[in-house]
Amino acid sequence: MTEGPSLIRGLEGVVAAETRLCDLDGKNGRLAYGGYDIDELARHAAFEEVAYLLWHGELPRPAELAELKSALAAARQIPGDLSQGFRLMPRATDPMRALQAAVAILGMHDPDATDNSQAANRRKAARLTSQLATAICAHHRARSGKEPIPPSTDLSHAANFLYMLTGERPSAVIAKAFDASLTLYAEHEMNASTFTTRVITSTQSDLHSAVAGGVGALKGPLHGGAGEAVMRTLMEIGEVANVDAFSDQALATKRRLMGFGHRVYKAGDPRAAILRGMAEEACRQSGQFKWYEMAVKLHARINAAKGLIPNVDFYSAPLFYSLGIPVDLFTPVIAAGRIAGWTANIIEQHDDNRLIRPRGEYTGPGRRPWFPIDKR
């Protein structure tokens, strides 16, 4: 490129879209969806209310919430060929890869698949939010050699997820912790996966195609895959007594520690603070307090030595583990929350679209003569 603005690596600090969905104040470590503070939403709102807020811009009134809940419950079944497909996939298939394929297949069945109107996108957003949860659990059951557990029609979205995973109706406390986790993951402005969904949407492609791209972006360890990596780090450390030695070694070798650091938050990630409290409670209740203790000690050591802050994926790891979620399902669970934000961003992008098409700065050789194959 010879003209125009200069390169900004990683698009750091670049404002790529206007949004009414999420107000992320990185300097002061604050986050709000549609004007509502994340702390209040996690504490008081059900995930269904948060999804409605993101899709419609306002919290639902009672009749609107009831309508959304019944639409979500009615959409929980997944097509038989998808369930069959899960059984045919190699057992070792990564759950995020299976999820990406599932989203594409769900798009083949959706009655509004190619309709990009706002009304159709809202219908698809609700359907896919429900079906994504069912698909994650059905794939997990299939790879474990088990029959899928048909979704319940009376449980909340969060409680039904845990039910489809385990076959047991979760306690109110566990269901609330999981519900709040989905809310905390629901939306986060121009993170890599959401930006991916916006880029795909900007070509006037459809919602399922955009979400499939988002799933692919979320999978990476610098993004949603970090939660799983945090748990593997805690398992590698093994015991609270090993944290100091592990930290010394990690710092000496400049190891990248998953669950630490953030592109936008430099003073602290407000979601991590909420998740820390939830992890403490869940680890205590499940009799696995050591994971929380290890996380707290590691946090203190790394923060003191490098000033790095724990991000959303740090304390969600011991939380999810103590809720009985298999480690390689942590990222799919994040997708189960982020689907609300992805689809809200897709709706917003369609409503005021301009093709997203940045430039590249050319660094290759200058113009040179072409030689036929026998002269090279």
Residues with a known catalytic role? 262, 313
Using CB under 6 A as the binding rule, whether residue 260 contacts ligand CMC is answered as yes
- Site stretch for ligand CMC (CB under 6 A), options 100-108, 125-133, 174-182, 306-314: 306-314
As measured in angstroms, the least distance from the Cβ of 182 to ligand CMC is 14
Burial of 180 (0-12, 13-18, 19+ CB in 10 A): buried
Please say whether the beta carbons of 127 and 110 come within 8 A. Answer: yes
Using CB under 6 A as the binding rule, whether residue 249 contacts ligand CMC is answered as no
As measured in angstroms, the least distance from the Cβ of 242 to ligand CMC is 18
Using CB under 6 A as the binding rule, whether residue 222 contacts ligand CMC is answered as yes
- Site stretch for ligand CMC (CB under 6 A), options 48-56, 103-111, 121-129, 259-267: 259-267
Assigned token pair, 344 = 């809200």
The smaller minimum CB distance to ligand CMC, of residues 48 and 313, is found at 313
Please say whether the beta carbons of 50 and 33 come within 8 A. Answer: yes
Using CB under 6 A as the binding rule, whether residue 187 contacts ligand CMC is answered as no
Count of beta carbons in the 10 Å neighbourhood of residue 222 = 13
Q: Round to whole Å and give the CA distance between 178 and 181.
A: 5
* Of positions 158, 226, 317, 329, contacts ligand CMC by CB under 6 A: 226
Q: What are the angstrom distances between the C-alpha of 228 and each of 235, 246, 262?
A: 11, 18, 17
* Of positions 113, 308, 327, 356, contacts ligand CMC by CB under 6 A: 308
* Of positions 10, 13, 62, 145, contacts ligand CMC by CB under 6 A: 10
Coil, helix or strand at residue 37:
strand
Using CB under 6 A as the binding rule, whether residue 38 contacts ligand CMC is answered as no
Q: Round to whole Å and give the CA distance between 256 and 237.
A: 15
Q: Which of residues 188-217 bind ligand CMC (CB under 6 A)?
A: 191
Q: Round to whole Å and give the CA distance between 274 and 254.
A: 28
Using CB under 6 A as the binding rule, whether residue 251 contacts ligand CMC is answered as no
Q: What are the angstrom distances between the C-alpha of 239 and each of 92, 162, 236, 326?
A: 29, 28, 9, 20
As measured in angstroms, the least distance from the Cβ of 224 to ligand CMC is 5
Please say whether the beta carbons of 206 and 107 come within 8 A. Answer: yes
- Site stretch for ligand CMC (CB under 6 A), options 31-39, 209-217, 250-258, 348-356: 250-258
Coil, helix or strand at residue 31:
strand
# residues contacting ligand CMC (CB under 6 A): 18
- Site stretch for ligand CMC (CB under 6 A), options 84-92, 152-160, 309-317, 359-367: 309-317
- Site stretch for ligand CMC (CB under 6 A), options 15-23, 69-77, 82-90, 307-315: 307-315
Stretch (H or E) spanning 22: strand 22-25
The smaller minimum CB distance to ligand CMC, of residues 256 and 359, is found at 256
Please say whether the beta carbons of 55 and 347 come within 8 A. Answer: yes
The smaller minimum CB distance to ligand CMC, of residues 10 and 360, is found at 10
Please say whether the beta carbons of 311 and 261 come within 8 A. Answer: yes
Please say whether the beta carbons of 276 and 259 come within 8 A. Answer: no
Q: Interface with ligand CMC by CB under 6 A: which residues?
A: 10, 191, 222-224, 226, 256-263, 308, 311-313
